[in-house]
Amino acid sequence: MSLSPSPRVARATRARHLVLAMAASLALAIAAPAFAADPSPAAGESAAEVEATGTAAVTDFFAILQQPDAERYAGLAEILAPEFQRILPDGSSMTREDVIASSPPVGATTISNVRATRDGDSLVVSYTVETVETVDGVEKTTTGQRVTAFRAMDDTWWVVLHVVLPPAA
């Protein structure tokens, strides 16, 4: 037996999705136009070109995370794939909806030690990120390892997976 929402709930859900999509489109057009990179694979793409593509995709992702709340939430809704997951150092995970609803702003970031691999429409990037954040009114710089996986869709690199690795022992 398949359960489906009532017609009223389905209409309300479609209306919310339309409003969210319109707001996200506007915010992304204003806040992060560079995220729409050319995801089509180039024949004979060099390792340096793949690394540059990976660096640009990660940099654009963090640019969205640095936006004020409304723009950040709309930007995330525009680039997090439906199947997106965020894995935290303690092993817990967050879905696309969790991240869009509760992602705190990220301060200034520096991306380094980029390693990117690509096969067709898939791009996997591992890197070190240094972030300046304010926690309980105290500014703090943190450095950590991340892995972010992207999938090309509609001429955009969609974020499929973002892993925050635990600090090295």
pLDDT digits (tens, 9 = 90+) for 73-126: 999 999 999 999 999 999 999 999 999 998 888 889 999 999 999 999 999 999
Sheet of 138-153, strand order: 93-95, 80-87, 156-164, 138-153, 122-135, 109-119
Residues 6+ apart with CB under 8 A from 83: 96, 160
Residue 23 · residue 76 · CB < 8 Å: no
User: What are the pLDDT digits (tens) for 129-155?
Assistant: 999 877 778 888 989 999 999 999 888
Over residues 8-29, the pLDDT tens digits come to 444 444 434 333 333 333 333 3
pTM for this predicted structure:
0.73
Pick from 38, 70, 44, 48: nearest CA to 150 = 38
Domains of the chain (ranges plus CATH)?
7-164 (3.10.450.50)
For 113-125, give the DSSP string.
Answer: EEEEEEETTEEEE
For residue 86, the cross-strand partners are 94, 162
Task: Please report the pLDDT score of residue 167 as a whole number.
Answer: 82
**pLDDT of 43:** 63
Hey, how many other C-beta atoms are within 10 angstroms of the C-beta on 94? 17
- The reported pLDDT for the residue numbered 38 is 53
pLDDT of residue 103: 82
If DSSP codes are grouped into helix, strand and coil, which group holds residue 17? helix
**Per the structure block, which two tokens stand in for 93?**
């995970």
- Tens digits of per-residue pLDDT, 25-79? 333 333 333 344 555 555 678 999 999 999 999 999 999 999 998 999 999 999 9
